Amino acid sequence: MIVRTWRGWTRSSDAAAYEAYLLRTGLAGYTATAGNLGAYFTRRDDGDRTEFFLISLWETWDAIRTFAGDDPGTAVFYPDDDAFLVDREWTVDHYEVFART
């Protein structure tokens, strides 16, 4: 299993709208991709910004490429992300799971 993570930040006043947008776009995209084993979409307020931390679980690198394209280290964005995000990671991190309970 491979864990894929990404972070983005919105204004706190936009956090609820971005959360709903992520459920319609990112979560739908993850779960519609064969080989996705689940996802956690998290958020935390930090002053006037809200950080979103997305964690997804994948069976194989091929499954990740199906979702993300030929360069799995590049973050996937959706058309209205620019309207919400004040900062973002342009790349993602991957971790191979070697143990779990």
User: 52: domain CATH number?
Assistant: 3.30.70.100
64 located within any domain: yes
**What pLDDT was estimated at residue 18?**
98
* pLDDT tens per residue across span 16-49: 999 999 999 999 999 999 999 999 999 999 999 9
pLDDT class for 2, splitting at 50, 70, 90? Answer: very high
Please give, one letter per residue, the 3-state secondary structure of 36-90: EEEEEEEEEEECCEEEEEEEEEECCHHHHHHHHCCCCCECCCCCCHHHHEEEECC
* pLDDT tens per residue across span 41-72: 999 999 999 999 999 999 999 999 999 999 99
| Structural domains of the chain, count | 1
**What pLDDT was estimated at residue 48?**
97
62 located within any domain: yes
101 located within any domain: no
Evaluate if pTM is beyond 0.95: no
**What pLDDT was estimated at residue 86?**
98
Domain of 26 in residue numbering reads as: 2-96
**What pLDDT was estimated at residue 97?**
97
Reading the block at residue 11, the tokens are: 């204004």
Residues near 53 by beta carbon (within 8 Å), at least 6 away in sequence: 5, 6, 7, 42, 43, 44
